[in-house]
Amino acid sequence: MTNNTEQFSLDFIAFAVQKEVLRFGEFKTKAGRLSPYFFNAGLFNDGESLMKLGEFYAAAITNSGIQFDMLFGPAYKGITLVASIAIAFAKNGHNVPYAYNRKEAKDHGEGGIIVGSPLKGRVLIIDDVISAGTSVRESVALIDANGATACGVAIAIDRQERGLGELSAVQEVVKNNQIPVCAIANLNDLMKYLQNQQDMVQNLHSVTAYRQQYGVD
């Protein structure tokens, strides 16, 4: 990892903490674990922060080298994420189509569950984090059913913790779906950030202990 890339990730962590999107305390995860931190992208809830979030995602996707034709954001959080990322790419001269799904099929008007551009070509899935991989599995199935190909997943934070087995949840997605996953930042970056914050020593201790119990490199 280059210094520029590392600083980029640390800047994102600082941004998420500033906006209180990344919080510290005690939070129960989907896996039933008590985590000392929680990331909720839905709390990027104003225009400026959503704009910056999209720019962070677009930069991380570009740096990953993943080749894609369009973006897909699974409902509900993925809807605003995918729109903000498409706007960020357009500002940089790369106009890409995007789509998202409805939770329930619409039985009037245009009907169906896909909103936006038709799913075709190489589709990059957008999510905030990967916990159990359920959202990714459902997205891949939906993309396949529409004759397109899921080419990867972009997330905000890789928690780098075990999924169902010895692999991390992200590694399981890569293995089970044969697609790459890129993240703006990961648990390593979070710990580096905390190490430089004198008022967050207790949070560093809690995150370190949690990683020792559940972490995967």
Say whether 8 sits in a helix, a strand or coil: helix
For the chain, count helices (H), then strands (E): 7, 8
Say whether 52 sits in a helix, a strand or coil: helix
Identity of the residue numbered 12: F
Q: Count the residues in the chain.
A: 217
Catalytic residue among 91, 106, 175, 205: 106
Whether 108 is catalytic is yes
φ, ψ dihedrals at 17, nearest 5°: -70, -45
Whether 52 is catalytic is no
d(CA 55, CA 132): 26
Order of strands, sheet of 70-73, starting from the edge strand that comes earlier in the sequence: 112-116, 98-106, 70-73, 122-126, 149-158, 181-186
Q: Which of 28, 53, 42, 5 is nearest to 154 (CA)?
A: 53
Q: Which residues are catalytic?
A: 106, 108
